[in-house]
Amino acid sequence: QSALTQPRSVSGSPGQAVTISCTGTNSDVGGYNYVSWYQQYPGKAPKLMIYDVAKRPSGVPDRFSGSKSGNTASLTISGLQAEDEADYYCCSYGGTQLYVFGTGTKVTVV
């Protein structure tokens, strides 16, 4: 099973909105509402930002939001801040492997 497809990088200015896509198949992203998103700074452990497509854990800023349409999930960061510069990974339950992660997207604040 291949990794979910994410853009290699996205960038935006402070205050702008950026959206990261995560494309899978009917067997994973499209088959379940179990997409999660993780933020990772270099050399650090991942941190959960979104779960079950659009739910936000306590403590995660509300500028982070998630959605899904068909086989593609999306993470939107509204009001981009310098501290949002990091790598972001989507993850879906399902498919031939129990869980599959995305290829990862580097968010740059320019």
Residues that bind other proteins (CB under 8 A): 1, 3, 32, 34, 36, 38, 40, 44-48, 51-52, 57, 89, 91, 93, 96-104
53: left (phi over 0), alpha (psi -120 to 50) or beta: left
CB of 89 to other proteins, least distance (A): 5
Residue (52 or 85) nearer to other proteins, CB: 52
Distance CA 17, CA 12 (A): 7
Residue 2 CA: distances (Å) to CA of 15, 35, 52, 76, 83:
34, 16, 21, 24, 30
Min dist CB 105 to other proteins, Å, is 10
C-beta of 21 vs 32, nearer to other proteins: 32
We find the least distance from the C-beta atom of residue 71 to other proteins, in angstroms, to be: 17
